[in-house]
Structures are given as C-alpha cells and as structure tokens.
Amino acid sequence: MTRGVFLVAALLALAGCVQPQPRYVVGEPYRLGGVWSYPKEDFALVETGLAEVLPASVLGGQTANGEVLNAQSLTAAHRSVQLPAVIRVTNLENGNSILLRVNDRGPEKRGRILGVSQRAATLLGMAPGRATQITLSVDAERSRAAMAGLPGAEPAPIAIAAAPRAAVAREDLAPLPGAREAPRRATQPLPSASPGLEAQAQARPVIEALPETVTQGPAQPGLLVVEVGQFFRADAAQALAARLPGARISQQGRGRNALFRVTLGPFADAAAADLALERTLAAGVSGAKIIID
C-alpha cells in the first residue's frame, strides 16, 4: 500500500469514528475575507443577495457549531445568523426553494451572503463557480426546534453565594384563649428525579435531516446594486453619496418615517457588482453590500 493510499484510508477510518457534537453558537465579531461580521440572534432575518456553492468538505472537518462537514447534507454557511438556524432559500433565477440548516460561518468571498452545500446547490439549480441571486428568510419555529436541547442554548446560571445565617432560637407558645391549634404535618421529602428523565437529559442531541422537498415558484431575477447605507436624515445620505461617484439617493416613506438609501448601480452582472463593492469598501464604507432590487 502506497503512502498516499494509506493516508486516505486512515482519514476515512477517522471520519467514520467522528461523531457530531452540535452546540448552539452566536459568537463574537470576526474578520473574514477582509470584512468584519457581527453575529447575532435573529429569528426574523430576511435578506437578498448573491450565494455561492461551497467547495467539497474536508474529511473529518467540523462546522463552527461542532457538526461534521458533509457536502451531501442540506446545510449552508452564513456570516452572522445564530447557529444552528433553519432558513428558506429561494433561487430567484429559477424559482427553486428549499429549507437549509445553517451550521457554519462564511462564505469567505466578499459580496456573498450565503454558501450552500453541493447537495443543496443541486436542488436549487446553482452552478459551482457562479454567483446566484437568492433570497433567504429564517424559519423561526424550525430554528427554535433545532436549537432546543443543544449545549449553549440556555444561558449559564449565575452562581450566587448566600450570606451566612445565624442560628435562630425557636420557642413554642401556648395558643391564645379561644384559638385552636392545627395539627402539625410531617414534612415530606421531595420526590427524586426519575431515571428516565435523567437519561433523557444526558442524551446526545439529535440532528434531524431536513426533507429534500423543492418548492417551485416563478423566476424573479432582480437588479444587482451595491447598497452603501441607509439613513433617517437626508443630509447624512447626501454627505456619503458625495464621496462616491455615481451614487444615487432614493427615499422610502415620508416625514419622520422617511428612509434615505444610498446605492450604486444597477450592474449588468456579478463581476461588475463585485468591482463596485471592492471600490466602495476601499473608500472606507465598511457596511456596503450587494443586494437584489
């Protein structure tokens, strides 16, 4: 057996022994691909943007929340949503829609809001090496069910030291004239937890596979734009737009509810949008992102 074949066999044997150790993770801010991301728990997240197909998983590798990487599972990587989370992803270019479990951080490339496994890409009709217009939304009910029972899902209890108590003297007094004393009841010990409940509490969390059900809707491709920022003040939007050649300001709402968006584009393809995003980030606008209008 050659050294290379032996190494592959050893990796396969090791991968077979690895058991998933899923946990609930939000995490601290981190820098990936030159861009800072700020994870947070969000059960109402809705986004549009570009997605990509993740490369083949490394045998034995783990996701950011401790699951085993598997290119054939319906999983995805997102930069900020809590892990795990269940999201509905729709390919705007062909209308295919499926449920995915977000269990990792990424993708690394700027201007991409989601990376999907190879199996998920096949069902969605996404081609490797090409950016695809998508919309995603968190399924709150399924996400809460996915995190139930995982380590880290509940906040750690705060240890509170009780102040020492002094001894208290007790004296039984005779009942008042005309009063009747109720008979004393013996204190019963609290029932101990049943062995079944203890075993259930110590059981390993089970990762439920999502159904490979593809919902077909109409294709709704949109316009690729770079959203530079959103402001409640027109002068703030104008100041930022003045720094970026070709920037446009659009207003949504009126009066105190008015929102001013600063955007670049639209662009003919993902490559042009990527170039505009790189220039915007280089100009110091860290919150710029590619969206679908």
State the Cα–Cα distance between residues 136 and 266, nearest whole angstrom.
21
pLDDT of residue 225: 97
Q: Which two tokens stand for residue 82?
A: 């809590």
pLDDT of residue 264: 97
Assess if residue 246 is contained within a domain: yes
Q: Are residues 48 and 138 in the same domain?
A: yes
Q: Are residues 229 and 135 in the same domain?
A: no
Assess if residue 59 is contained within a domain: yes
Q: Are residues 232 and 121 in the same domain?
A: no
State which residues form the domain around 284.
Answer: 224-292
State the Cα–Cα distance between residues 260 and 108, nearest whole angstrom.
29
> Which stretches of the chain drop beneath a pLDDT of 50?
1-18, 156-157, 187, 190, 193-194, 197-201
pLDDT of residue 138: 98
Q: Are residues 27 and 146 in the same domain?
A: yes
pLDDT of residue 43: 98
**Under 8 Å between Cβ of 76 and 101:** yes
DSSP 64: T
Assess if residue 170 is contained within a domain: no
DSSP 252: E
- DSSP-assigned letters across all residues of 254-286: -GGG-EEEEEEEEESSHHHHHHHHHHHHHTT-T
Q: Are residues 229 and 146 in the same domain?
A: no
CATH at 110: 2.40.40.10
Assess if residue 106 is contained within a domain: yes
- The pTM score is 0.76
CATH at 285: 3.30.70.1070
For residue 204, the tally of other CB atoms under 10 A from its CB is: 10
For residue 38, the tally of other CB atoms under 10 A from its CB is: 10
Q: Are residues 146 and 37 in the same domain?
A: yes
pLDDT of residue 10: 46
pLDDT of residue 208: 80
Q: Are residues 28 and 146 in the same domain?
A: yes
Assess if residue 30 is contained within a domain: yes
Assess if residue 245 is contained within a domain: yes
State the Cα–Cα distance between residues 85 and 104, nearest whole angstrom.
10
Q: Are residues 132 and 45 in the same domain?
A: yes
Q: Are residues 38 and 145 in the same domain?
A: yes
What SS3 string covers 206-227?
Answer: CCCCCCCCCEECCCCCCCEEEE
Q: Which two tokens stand for residue 22?
A: 């899923």
Q: Which two tokens stand for residue 161?
A: 């030291």
Domain count, the chain: 2
Tell which of 161, 195, 216 closes a domain.
216
Tell which of 216, 242, 261 closes a domain.
216
Mean pLDDT, the chain, whole residue set: 83
**Under 8 Å between Cβ of 233 and 273:** no
Tell which of 216, 236, 252 closes a domain.
216
Assess if residue 118 is contained within a domain: yes
Assess if residue 110 is contained within a domain: yes
Q: Are residues 58 and 146 in the same domain?
A: yes
